[in-house]
Amino acid sequence: MATTVSTPPSRKALIPPVILGVLAFISAVEPLSVNMYLSGLPQLGRDLGISQAGAQLTLTFFLAGMAIGQLVTGPLSDARGRRGLFLGGTVLLVLATAASALAPYAWVMFAARFVMGLAAGAAVVLARAVAGDLARGPELARVFSLLMLLGGVAPVMGPVAGGLIVDGVGWRGVFWVLFGLNIIGALLVAKWIPETMPAEKRTTGGMAPLFTAMGGLLRDRAYVGFTLAFIFSFSTMFAYVAASPFILQDHYGFSPVQFAFIFGTNTFGMFLVALTNARIVKKVGPLKLARIGNGVLVGATLFLLAAALLDANRWAILVGLFVVVASMGVNFANNSALAISRAGAVTGSASAFMGSGQFVMAGILSPLVGLAAAAGLSQPVAMTAVMVATALIATAGLYSGAALVRREKAAVS
pLDDT of res. 2: 46
pLDDT at 8 over 50: no
What pLDDT band is residue 53 in, cutting at 50, 70 and 90?
A: low
Secondary structure (3-state) at 412: helix
Secondary structure letter of residue 67 according to DSSP: H
Share of the chain above pLDDT 90, in %: 37
Alpha-carbon distance 21 to 16, whole Å? 9
pLDDT of res. 409: 82
CATH number attached to the domain at 17-197: 1.20.1250.20
The answer to whether 225 and 357 have CB atoms below 8 angstroms apart is no
Alpha-carbon distance 245 to 260, whole Å? 9
Single-letter amino acid, residue 162? G
Share of the chain above pLDDT 70, in %: 85
> What DSSP string describes 322-340?
HHHHHHHHHHHHHHHHHHH
- Domain ranges for the chain, please list them: 17-197, 216-412
- In angstroms, the Cα distances linking 324 to 52, 180, 309, 399 are 31, 34, 18, 19
The answer to whether 400 and 225 have CB atoms below 8 angstroms apart is yes
pLDDT of res. 237: 86
pLDDT of res. 249: 73
pLDDT digit string, tens, across residues 63-96: 889 888 888 888 788 888 999 999 999 999 999 9
> What DSSP string describes 374-393?
HTT--HHHHHHHHHHHHHHH
- In angstroms, the Cα distances linking 404 to 63, 95, 225, 298, 345 are 33, 45, 9, 22, 20
Which is higher by pLDDT, 170 or 412? Answer: 170
| Mean pLDDT, rounded, for 13-24 | 84
pLDDT of res. 144: 74
pLDDT at 205 over 60: no
pLDDT of res. 181: 96
**Same fold yes or no, 17-197 and 216-412:** yes
Q: What is the dihedral of CA 217, 221, 224, 230, to 10 degrees?
A: -130
Identify the burial level of 239 via C-beta atoms within 10 angstroms of its C-beta, where 0-12 means exposed, 13-18 middle and 19 or more buried.
buried
170: left (phi over 0), alpha (psi -120 to 50) or beta: left
Which is higher by pLDDT, 111 or 31? Answer: 111
pLDDT digit string, tens, across residues 224-269: 999 999 999 988 987 887 677 668 877 888 876 677 678 778 888 8
| Mean pLDDT, rounded, for 280-284 | 89
| Mean pLDDT, rounded, for 123-141 | 83
pLDDT digit string, tens, across residues 361-376: 876 776 676 667 667 7
pLDDT digit string, tens, across residues 141-151: 778 777 766 65
The answer to whether 341 and 66 have CB atoms below 8 angstroms apart is no
| Mean pLDDT, rounded, for 371-400 | 87
Beta bridge partners of residue 195, listed in sequence order:
4
What pLDDT band is residue 207 in, cutting at 50, 70 and 90?
A: low
pLDDT of res. 172: 96
The answer to whether 55 and 344 have CB atoms below 8 angstroms apart is no
Question: What are residue 49's phi and psi, to 5 degrees?
Answer: 70, 40
pLDDT of res. 7: 46
Closest CA to 152 of 326, 298, 9, 302: 326
Domain 216-412, second-level architecture: Up-down Bundle (1.20)
Secondary structure (3-state) at 149: helix
pLDDT of res. 216: 78
| Mean pLDDT, rounded, for 307-316 | 91
pLDDT at 11 over 60: no
Q: What is the mean pLDDT of the chain?
A: 83
pLDDT at 411 over 60: yes
